[in-house]
Amino acid sequence: MLSATIRATAPAYEPESLKHLAVVMDVDGEAVRTLAQQLAGRLGAQVTALCVVPPAPVGSLAQAEVRYDLVEAEARDQRSRAQAAAEAFDRALTEAGVVIDPRIVCREDAECDAPLLDVARLSDLILIQQPEPGNARPSDAHLEEVLLQSGRPCLIVPYTGTAQVPFRNVTVAWDGSRSAARTLGDALPFLRTAARVEVVEVATGFVPDGAARGARLIAHLEAHGVAACHRTLVSSLPFAQAILSHMADEGSDLLVMGAYGHSRLREALLGGASRDMLGCMTVPVLMAH
């Protein structure tokens, strides 16, 4: 059930540019590379590509028959494949006129996480591919850490489908939280170039102040050159199912939502709603924490 639709018309504007993209990639996984090339070419942005090397296939250290020479050979092969993938991406972007700095990242290296986060924190946007069930990729191990600890917005690209830029029909999931507010600000470059922007609040029942709250939000976006509408989506479904079903009905091609998480000791852990979304997303999702 939908209620309280509010519309505004934005004035003419010049779209804001994203100057530096960080792409976390694997040996395979074409989706994120394809979208990164499209986006960088359209924006005229430079790219830092981080190709993640798979961990060496070492079993338990208690095993007496470990052939370390074979392990080392496999590690060299994995690094070689990662280097080849990075060089191929380098050639593709260079031919498209995009400035790129390809790098190799090894999860087993004690220095791995810090350099990756250093690069991520000095970018305007991080692109990384959605984990694929039954086909684990090395970059999967970095997703939560980059999302929750980089301090930068992340564009998660579905492993299936063919996402295209510019995004024309954008859905913003809004709940008034700090993460949602942060992501809304980070999403402005995409919102300004969209033909349609809809802000959706998911609720389990009638929201008494929904219309007034929506009007304030629409006025805020209008001040930033974004024409938008606001809707309250009343649903008994879990958040991810409710919002994705609504987006499918509306033909949305990008979801903007806050990334919710917390720390347990030194681990960064995504909250349930964010994790559910990453598991069932069908369009690119822009998240920030």
Domains and CATH numbers, the chain: 2-15+166-288 (3.40.50.620), 20-58+70-157 (3.40.50.620)
- In the chain, the amino acid numbered 63 is Q
User: For 6-65, what is each residue's pLDDT tens digit?
Assistant: 444 433 334 457 999 999 999 988 999 999 999 999 999 999 999 988 776 655 444 545
Handedness of CA 248, 252, 253, 257 (dihedral sign): negative
Percent of the chain having pLDDT more than 70? Answer: 83
Amino acid at 202: V
Per-residue pLDDT tens over the stretch 251-267:
999 999 998 654 443 34
Quickly count: other Cβ atoms within 10 Å of residue 72's Cβ: 11
Q: How many CB atoms lie within 10 A of CB 242?
A: 19
Sequential pLDDT tens for the chain (289 residues): 344 444 444 333 344 579 999 999 999 889 999 999 999 999 999 999 999 887 766 554 445 455 677 777 887 888 888 889 999 999 999 999 999 999 888 765 544 556 788 889 999 999 999 999 999 998 998 898 899 889 999 999 999 878 899 999 999 999 999 999 999 999 999 999 999 999 999 998 888 888 898 999 999 999 999 999 999 999 999 999 999 999 999 999 999 999 865 444 334 445 677 888 999 999 999 999 8
- Contact by Cβ (8 Å): 95, 70: no
Sequence-distant (6+) residues with CB within 8 A of 22 are 47, 48, 50, 119, 120, 123, 125, 126, 127, 152
CA dist., res. 229 & res. 6, Å (int): 5
Q: In this structure, what token pair is assigned to residue 285?
A: 């999702």
Which percentage of the chain shows pLDDT scores above 90?
A: 58
- How far is it, in rounded angstroms, from Cα 43 to Cα 20? 9
Q: What are the tokens at 53? A: 């090397």
Q: How far apart are CA 41 and CA 255, in angstroms?
A: 22
Contact 139, 129 (CB under 8 A): yes
Spatial distance between the Cα atoms of 117 and 145, rounded to a whole number of angstroms: 8
Give the pLDDT confidence score for residue 64 in this predicted structure.
44
Bridge partners (DSSP) listed for residue 232:
3, 201
Pick the closest to residue 262 from 277, 253, 252, 272 (CA basis): 272
